Amino acid sequence: MDGAIELSTKRRVVSAEGATGHLTVDISALARNYAKLCSLLAPVRAAAVVKADAYGLGVERVAQTLYDMDCRHFFVAQFAEAVGLRPVLAQDAQIFVLNGLQPGNEATCAEGGIVPVLNSLQQWQRWSAMAKSLKRTLPAVVQFDTGMARLGVPPEERSALAEGLANENNVEILFIMSHLASANELESEQNDAQLTEMTRIADEFSGFDICFANSGGIFLGAPYHGVLARPGIALYGGAPTTTGEPNPMEPVVGLEVAVVQTRTVPTGAKIGYGGAHVAEKQTRLATIAAGYADGLPRSLSGRGAVYYKGTRLPIVGRVSMDSITVDVSALPKGTLTLGSFVEVLGPHQSIDELARDAGTISYEILTSLGDRYDRHYR
């Protein structure tokens, strides 16, 4: 590997001094979440999905922590992420590229010990041709589409692939995989339908191990577990299911943001862009130093809240690029001053709760966390 490609998701490091947002990543909670999933799965193993900078938490720290807990399978989405992660992990860790084998990446994958997830007959053919030219066997995973129509060998290519595998053995298939579209809904019929399709594929391609479950899939039970599960969000504290079950995972991310101005406005005062909020009574406000550029979605305008020692402080008016304004009238006067910090994510507000208020999912909250926070790993 020539090292020319830097990890594209690497974040700027802001010095703690002067930062107006503190992002805390609780590495020990991450480790406990991994251990919990491992014990739910045992004897099946748990990989780690670390795409998008480990869902925004910092792929190097996350991957190293999980490697130290005997995780040996790491999934990224993109080739460049794999190239960046490869030198971070020992060679006995396997790195898989979910988005597949893009033309031109074959040599780097082969030389760099990166395992492509082959998503089509044509990708297998190119990988096999690479193996032939190197006069060696190359490892791969084959992904099948079981009803999501996103990535994976489509049904109409299956027989040609089976024939190819029977005639040419220079690609070593480590396991076959598929991805669940509705695993966050335990009762969804789509889970059943995809499992049935996966079972059919496993019969067609008998002899290969199966990798199927994401975080939600782990909670669907043993038939979904295969030999290796691929959790992402559950590692990072997100709820694996979203149909009302309590979240069994521990929160990993905390976010505190500084107050940069306070004021009292009279009845009728317009607050924020567009005058979208008008004070109904005299109101005490605080301006908080994080906005949509820092991952607080603009859809939180007039919705959602931050917390101060458990007191809910509703967001009023529109979310700006660099700030939000909150109503602090519920706090005794003078409680918040310049330099006070309020909780955006923490004991009173989970990533799932903030996501719900923003009309999105925890995944998007985590992967949008800005790079203007200083980051602490605990």
Ligand X SMILES: *Cc1c(COP(=O)(O)O)cnc(C)c1O
Residues 227-246, mask of contacts with ligand X (x by CB under 6 A): ---xxxxx------------
Q: Least distance in Å: CB of 118 to ligand X?
A: 13
* From candidates 49, 142, 271, 286, binder to ligand X by CB under 6 A: 49
Residues 94-133, mask of contacts with ligand X (x by CB under 6 A): ----x-----------------------------------
Type of residue numbered 144: F
**62 exposed, middle or buried (CB, 10 Å; 0-12, 13-18, 19+)?**
buried
Q: Least distance in Å: CB of 234 to ligand X?
A: 6
* From candidates 65, 105, 191, 214, binder to ligand X by CB under 6 A: 214
Residues ≥6 apart with Cβ < 8 Å to 117: 96, 97, 98, 99, 100, 101, 140, 141, 142, 143, 151, 177
Q: Which is nearer to ligand X, 283 or 350 (CB)?
A: 350
Whether the CB-CB separation of 249 and 36 falls below 8 Å is answered with: yes
215 binds ligand X per the rule CB under 6 A:
yes
Beta bridge partners of 257: 21, 342
Give the separation between CA 109 and CA 7, rounded to whole angstroms.
15
Q: Which stretch binds ligand X (CB under 6 A): 34-42, 196-204, 212-220, 326-334?
A: 212-220
| Phi, psi (deg, nearest 5) at residue 153 | -60, 125
Among the listed residues 36, 67, 273, 377, the single catalytic one is: 273
Q: Which stretch binds ligand X (CB under 6 A): 83-91, 108-116, 209-217, 342-350?
A: 209-217
226 binds ligand X per the rule CB under 6 A:
no
Q: Is cis: bond before 43, omega within 30 of 0?
A: yes
- Which element (helix H / strand E) includes 38? helix 27-41
Q: Which is nearer to ligand X, 141 or 326 (CB)?
A: 141
Q: Which is nearer to ligand X, 234 or 324 (CB)?
A: 234
Residues in contact with ligand X, counted by CB under 6 A, come to a total of 12
Q: By Cβ distance, which residue is nearest to ligand X?
A: 232
Among the listed residues 10, 34, 36, 51, the single catalytic one is: 51
Whether the CB-CB separation of 240 and 41 falls below 8 Å is answered with: no
Residues 155-184, mask of contacts with ligand X (x by CB under 6 A): ------------------------x-----
Q: Which stretch binds ligand X (CB under 6 A): 123-131, 214-222, 276-284, 313-321?
A: 214-222
Is 51 assigned a catalytic role? yes
Residues ≥6 apart with Cβ < 8 Å to 304: 314, 315, 354, 357, 358
225 binds ligand X per the rule CB under 6 A:
no
Distance (Å) of CA 358 to CA 23, 188, 223, 238, 354: 19, 24, 34, 15, 6
Whether the CB-CB separation of 86 and 113 falls below 8 Å is answered with: yes
Whether the CB-CB separation of 139 and 110 falls below 8 Å is answered with: no
Binding site for ligand X (CB under 6 A): 49, 51, 98, 179, 214-216, 230-234
Which residues form the catalytic set?
51, 273
